Structure 1
Amino acid sequence: MKKTILTLSLSSMMISGQVLAFELTSQDIKEGYPMAKTFEFSGWGCSGENLSPQLSWKGAPKGTKSFAITAYDPDAPTGSGFWHWVAFNIPADVSQLPRGADIQKLGGLESGIDYGIKGFGGACPPVDDGMHRYQFTVWAIPETTLSLTENTPAAVVGFTLNSVALAKTTLTATYTR
């Protein structure tokens, strides 16, 4: 008798016999579509409102004790991409963020990003550099508090998230100047 092995990704879980995927949606940004100027950085030659988009997620796996959120541009002409948002220790009972979210009011932390600030930094690709992708990712974390601080470099936070996350879900929007 031949055995069939079914492997589910870590970003899915079984509920009442149905697979519920860990999923990220937004009222402000859509997968593969350009973002509005509202989400453009204010500085570095950009004049947007520098607001983070509204985000909602569902289907986090069992054992999730907190969330982290990152926004990353893999197309930045740096050789290492560009971190636009690094937030963690967001309580597990949070499942959405309003536009312009204040992570600290939720009990979470934000570390420095590649603009040299803490908090959200909107899109600001170089003029005529073509389309850039902005990957907004929500990470399901099995710990209430990660051993990271607001001074932990974004790349170290990213490394840590990749090593401990139960699951992650990503929504990728675009921006061009």
Structure 2
Amino acid sequence: MQLRSSAFESMGSIPRKHTCEGDDLSPPLEWSDVPEGTRSFALLVQDPDAPDPAAPRRIFVHWIVVDLPPDVRQLPAGAAAKLPPGARHGKNDYNKAAWAGPCPPIGRHRYFFALYALDTRLPDLHAPTRDEFEAAVAGHILARAELVGTYQKEAAAPRRAG
């Protein structure tokens, strides 16, 4: 299975409009080479560089989506505002069931978009945390695809004298 975005290349910079400094729209995603028997997709977006890439202390969850229908092969930009029928948000580390775009406090962070093809649906998960998500998908993963983007906040403009 392969996961791509028309907004950024693998290990490329995520455009500002998909971050807290822009419109905070979820980026467009598309996938292919889906395995036979896929009954749903699940998506997990995490930043392993929080709070500082030089001294990471935690993995920060930015987005969880479960029960994407098996016939869906893409999410357009801003899809987090209106998921396909049947799909649901999990809780990010802001404790919200929504997309939370990159917003690193310091340095350039990596954002891992992991898409899972599952042999089941997850109807009992309403707004799962990462731990609940991982427990639910364990033993049901047919394939996994990953796309990594990076982001660093823009430096504040230097002050002009006079």
The answer to whether TM tops 0.5 is: yes
Identity percentage of aligned residues: 33
CA RMSD of aligned residues (A): 1.6
- Name the structure 1 match of 2:143: 167
- Name the structure 1 match of 2:130: 154
* Residue 160 (structure 1) shift: 2.8
Q: Does 2:118 correspond to 1:141? A: yes
- Name the structure 2 match of 1:131: 108
Contact 1:25–1:56 (Cα < 8 Å) also in 2: yes
- Name the structure 2 match of 1:92: 70
Contact 1:103–1:110 (Cα < 8 Å) also in 2: no
Q: Which runs of 5+ in 1 are unaligned?
A: 1-21, 42-46
- Bigger Cα displacement from structure 2, 136-145 vs 73-82: 73-82
Q: Deviations over 1:14-68 (max 9, x none)?
A: xxxxxxxx10111112101111111112xxxxx3211011100011111100001
Counterpart of 2:11 (choices 32, 57, 81) is: 32
Counterparts of 1:158 and 1:120, CA distance in 2: 18
Counterparts of 2:95 and 2:121, CA distance in 1: 27
Q: Which runs of 5+ in 2 are unaligned?
A: 154-162
Counterparts of 1:62 and 1:85, CA distance in 2: 26
Compared with structure 1, are the counterparts of its residues 114 and 49 closer, same or farther at alpha carbon in structure 2 (3 Å cutoff)?
A: same
Compared with structure 1, are the counterparts of its residues 132 and 162 closer, same or farther at alpha carbon in structure 2 (3 Å cutoff)?
A: farther
Counterparts of 2:114 and 2:47, CA distance in 1: 11
* Residue 87 (structure 1) shift: 0.2
TM-score normalised by L of structure 2: 0.84
Contact 1:90–1:103 (Cα < 8 Å) also in 2: no
Counterparts of 1:104 and 1:176, CA distance in 2: 27
Counterpart of 1:118 (choices 97, 105, 128) is: 97
**What is the number of equivalent residue pairs in this alignment?**
148
Counterparts of 2:63 and 2:133, CA distance in 1: 11
SS in 1 for 2:78: coil
TM-score normalised by L of structure 1: 0.77
- Name the structure 2 match of 1:81: 59
Q: What amino acid does structure 1 have at the position aligned with 2:78? A: G
Q: What amino acid does structure 2 have at the position aligned with 1:145? A: L
